[in-house]
Every structure is written in C-alpha cells, then in structure tokens.
Amino acid sequence: EQVADDVDDLHFVASALDDVHHLVAFTRRDRMSHWVAQLACDDSQICFAPEALCLPREGDECCAVIDGDNVVLRWSATEGARVDISLLPIVLESLAEPPSQLVMYGTDRAEVLSKLNDEQTAILDWRQGGWGSILLLSQATPAINLREGDFAPALPLAKWWRIWKTAAIAALVAVTLQFVSDFSQFQSLKTQNLELRAAIQDAYRRANPRGAVVDVEKQLDRQISEYTGDDGVIAFTPRLVNVVMATMAHNGRVTSVNYSGGELRLNLTVANFAAVEKIRQQLEQAGLTAMLETSSARGDEVRARLRVEVS
C-alpha cells in the first residue's frame, strides 16, 4: 500500500531477522534487469543490497557517507536512506531515538559542519574517505540480497565446463570403452554358455537317447544321485573302484557290471580259479560281502560272476 508503482513491476525479497520480524526490500524489475545485464559472466558471488545497509554500524550510532550532493546514512539495523545533504540535520532530528554518535565519511568537513547544529556537531566523528574506505572496513554481509527469485545467480555451468572439460571427456571415453568391453565380454560368455548347454544336451542324449529332455542338468543330477550314498547307504562309485582295483591286482578284467537294489553283479575274466578266489577275498577285506555265483573255464581263461552287496 505504500508503493506507488504497480506491484507486478516490482521485485520483492525478504529476510528473517528473528521469529517475528522480517526485513523486506524491493526495487523495480527493469532496474534489476539493467543492473544484472552490466555484470560480468561470472557473477555468482555478487550481492545486490540497499546501499544504506552496506554502511558499517555499531551499537546505537549512526553512520553516513557523503556522495556528491547527497548523503547516505544508516541509523538502525534495518533502516537508512539517501537524502540531499541539506536535509541531513532534519533527518537526524526526526529519528525516534537520537544516535549516540554520528560517524561520517567524506572529504569536505567544513561543508558538513555548516549544515549541522551544535548538538549534532558534538556527536560528530569525522573520518576522511568515501565508499572505498567504508567497504574496506565493512566485514558484515548485508542483511538482505536482492538477487533472489527471478534474478538469482545462475549456476556457472560455462565456468565448470571450462575447468572440467578435459576430465569429463576422458571419463566419458573411459566409460564408453569399458561399456563396449563389458558388452563384448557378455556376448562372448553368452555364446559360450549356449554352446556349453548344447554340448551338455548332446552328451545326455548319447547316454540316454530315450525320453523327453526338459532340463538336462536336473535330469542328469537326479540320475547320478541314484549312485551316491544317502544317509546310511554306502556310495556306489567308491565300491566300484574297489572291485576294479581288486580285479586288476590279480591280472583280471571286468567285462560287464550291473547294479540294482544295492547289489553289484559283475562278470570277470581272470587267468585261473585261484585268482577269482583272491579277488573275492580282497573284496571281503575291503568290508564288502562278495559271493561267487558262477565260474567256468574257457581255454586258458576263467570267467566268473560275482555278487557284491554295496548297501
């Protein structure tokens, strides 16, 4: 309600001073656009603040700087103004709480003294200098920054790109090469896997040409499990090794093997009947129950059939 301009033409910002009070600043949007357009490319650190709030101030003092025919002064944490130098005494007298000290920066002390009354002269702390001296002394960040909202600094993408361009390109090339390498390896392993599965199926078909093939590996595992030892059952394969080793130890050979119901029946060919008995005794010593079912002599060889209990 205190602004004569159209609100749509104004740019507002606010900053919280405490839980209750907020500092509000505004300016014309076209002025903000003009000021931002005059900045250099890298403007992310530049702050736009009311000039009065840039003046350093301590306690209840009032700080002012002569700027041509005007004076910029600040008399509280959130209040200040730019006025004609001739109006300086009137502004000071109108303050609700008179300052304990008037710190003023300028170059013509006599001119300023001619504008002030005796009470104002008594609290004057004259300091030779201007805006340059003030900004060097001011260490506090302005309480509000107009560069917010539509006028907030853009991310310095161009600057980041100039700095990280080489590293980004190198990283992109490395990632691309790694992806190509991984994809090629994946394709190679996929082809090998398909070839291996085909070979497994062919081998299974050669061993078991009948019946449907659904999952070669599972079917083969189930069939092999029949010849492995469960709880309380002696494994078939180690006993077959015992039989073959005992036969070979006496210069014999196994001509056929049949396994069913935990019993192993095998046909042997040896040099004489004594060798058959030695093989049977060796199996007994290995903890197996071996019985001679039949034996016959053919020429200079003896053929025998043994029954060995595996389970």
| Complete DSSP assignment for 38-95 | TS-S--TT-----GGGGS---TT-EEEEEETTEEEEE-SSS-EEEEEGGGHHHHHHH-
pLDDT confidence of 68, banded at 50, 70, 90? confident
- The answer to whether 258 and 300 have CB atoms below 8 angstroms apart is no
Q: SS3 for 39?
A: coil
- Work out the average pLDDT over 56-64: 88
pLDDT level of residue 44 (50, 70, 90 thresholds): low
User: Taking the model in full, what pTM does it have?
Assistant: 0.44
Per-residue pLDDT band at 232 (split at 50, 70, 90): very low
pLDDT confidence tier of residue 141, bands split at 50, 70 and 90: low
Average pLDDT value for the chain: 82
Name the CATH architecture for the domain at 56-137.
2-Layer Sandwich (3.30)
What distance in Å separates the CA atoms of residue 23 and residue 15, rounded to the nearest whole number?
Answer: 5
Three-state DSSP at 35 gives: helix
- The answer, yes or no, to whether residue 286 has pLDDT greater than 60, is yes
Which pLDDT value is given to residue 172? 94
Q: What is the pLDDT of residue 139?
A: 60
Tell me what pLDDT residue 39 has: 75
Q: Hey, where are the domains in the chain?
A: 1-50+143-154, 56-137, 156-225, 226-309
What is 226-309's CATH number, 3.50.50.60, 3.30.1360.100, 3.40.50.300, 2.40.440.10? Answer: 3.30.1360.100
Mean pLDDT is highest, among 25-29, 225-229, 234-238, for: 25-29
pLDDT tens column, 160-215: 788 888 999 999 999 999 999 999 999 999 999 999 888 877 877 776 777 777 67
